[in-house]
Structure 1
Amino acid sequence: MIPAARVQAAVEILDIVIAAARDDGPPADVVVSNYFKTRRYAGSGDRRAVRELVYRAIRRSGERPVDGRAAMLGLDDAAALFGAGGHAPAAVGDGEVAAGERLIPGWIEGELSPLVGADEWPALLERAPLDLRVNVAKADRDSLLAAFDGAEPTRLSPWGLRLPADSQIEQHEAMLGGLVEVQDEGSQLIALACGATGAVNIIDLCAGAGGKALALAAAAPEADIIACDTNRGRLSKLAPRAARAGATIDVRLLDGGREAEMLDDLRDQADIVLVDAPCSGTGTWRRNPEGRWRLSPDGLDKVVALQAHLLDLAVPLVRPGGSLVYAVCSILGREGAGQIADFLGRHSSWAVHTMPDGFGEDFGRVDGGGRLLTPGSDRTDGFFVARLKRSC
């Protein structure tokens, strides 16, 4: 493909990404992959170059562009090839303008945690490295350092390895053997915040595909862990991952709207309940920058209400003296410190609990009743995590 044809391909992909963001369709990486499945003539260099154009345009535009042409016109080198003939995009028309350049959608700026200043915004959209979590039930980190090219220990998580962003590890023997899992360092720290040791009872209330449940099982092999979720497709991915990791995790699929009824037998049973709640995903923009195009004020209101519901759902599951760990991959105040303040206002028998041994004072910054980790400050994805304790 000539350079102009690559620009046209990027325009076509961006049209699909913009529509998917508007209509809750597949993420950008899936769109790119699907596009090239039907275009076998594109070599690896072409695919890499087009993908780079697509993500440059996405990162440049905090607000959702009107179409792929507007997004691509924002890149000067790409815009110069419009109208070049052949397979190039058509020439720029009268009145046609590029999408505006900004990092953060305007309406979200006021929602950010006060800790996230404008000097940190560029880091929210930098390309993320690839982090692995060593399965400490089967291996130790030092022994695996030499197994991956360019690997280094993560700074905060005692279980983590950091690899270059382009690392291909899907068929690596350590991956296939259950010695490592792909997991951002910040996500590993959420499991660490649970302080799981010995034969404790743990409920992972929003387990998804089970990444944090697996981390907890590795850290506390004697623990009794129940992974719950309402999404059958995501939860079904846990069993093969657990088998590969040598972990024993019970799975409970919940019916939406009947969660409390289906969890009633676990009342007052859990030493630890983890609520890794659905959220805005603002902490993962460096991995999914088009996520900025999916958010809306109404959508944020709905997810904040869901988080409060899940926290309230967790309360009766925790035994007296037990812990509730709340986490979101968000850097927005209402989803983090604000959510915890509201929870404590509703539940007088609960209080903010200190983080466990191993969760250092330099892990994130104090944000209300929890800690906030950000790409600019901690070199992790953006996460808020709080540990709460039920009175005895």
Structure 2
Amino acid sequence: MAEERGAAQRRFGMVAGETSGDLLAGAVLQGLRQADPGMACAGVGGPAMAAAGFDRWWDVSELSVMGYAEVLRAYPRLLRMRRALGDRLLDWRPDVFVGVDAPDFNLDLEARLRDGGIRVVHFVSPSIWAWRGERIEKIRRSVDHMLLVFPFEAEIYARAGIAATYVGHPLADAIPLQSDGEGARLRLGLDAGRTTVALLPGSRAGEVKHMGETFVRTAAWLHARRPDLQFVLPAAGQALYERLQETIAAMRLPDGLRLTLVQGRSHEALAAADSVLVASGTATLETALFRKPMVIAYRLAWLSHRIMRKRGYLPWIGLPNILAGEALVPEFIQDQATPEAMGAALLAQLDDDAGRQRIAARFEAMHHELRRDCAQQAAAVLMELTDGPRAHR
């Protein structure tokens, strides 16, 4: 039997699949809360969503699985979780369900909810413009409305006949147009006047497993050639902080290497940096919004990489290059992602003032294009959908 509620209370179901999704959803929830302080929202989320009054039935960490090999190991647990979540949402009867990114988990859940008469919105399009374009048909079956964070996606959905709204990117709203690098270095306990490289190996355990040690070894390689450099490594959460502490302690690093490990504070680290070594993902966009030159790296489990390579994707993996339509910053994938190669690319950036200014100008234009007050726009779409007739039963 469906749970009873007050006739006037709006309900939103929501699922975010990883740390970046939690941040995106948290921004939209703030907009919803401003529009309707009495609304209820529940499902799968993290601390940013909880801060906006979200009822976490499951924590976002339950879904933070990276790559095909890793997903295969977690698959039975994820299936059980999705089934239980679907049962609970169908009983709770939200006015609108919002799946935030995580398409491999959310689209099947969304199809079930839509068949059950619940209106479905998907926030953040799967990267059908990069690879697996056939997913557009699954999206058509599963979703009533798409909320798009990149401008070029609107034409794709218009051609497919799927209702969609470009709302801008919440990170472009959250990240200031200007940042104080010296102040950020001081707040992080760094030397305010020293050239700084930020290391961002990822926000998920699998990413840190594959890239964490390599990023630290890149710092050691750079130190041997530029001993004046300092490095800051923000860890996404307590568990990853402890894991990186153990990794660093087990390594034989050179004396004098200035490496500061901090918990969270990735935006301060980006503001503090002169250049950034970053794992492919949302953090590359954050780096661009801080207008910092970067080197992008990604390393998957062997099976995951073989499957992705066969299925095909764009010439670039980093969002800044995809948005720019060119190789604006260097990328290193799999065996290319060595300390020597990435270190040399970072040195080249640090030594090229004109190139750094050119990249910063491109990233500034990108920031303005994506800065559209996403939370308010997305909330307005969701509020409108709660008042309109259901598109599907």
TM-score where L is the length of structure 1: 0.32
Higher normalized contact order (CA 8 Å, seq sep 6+, divided by chain length): 2
Which is richer in helix? 2
TM-score where L is the length of structure 2: 0.32
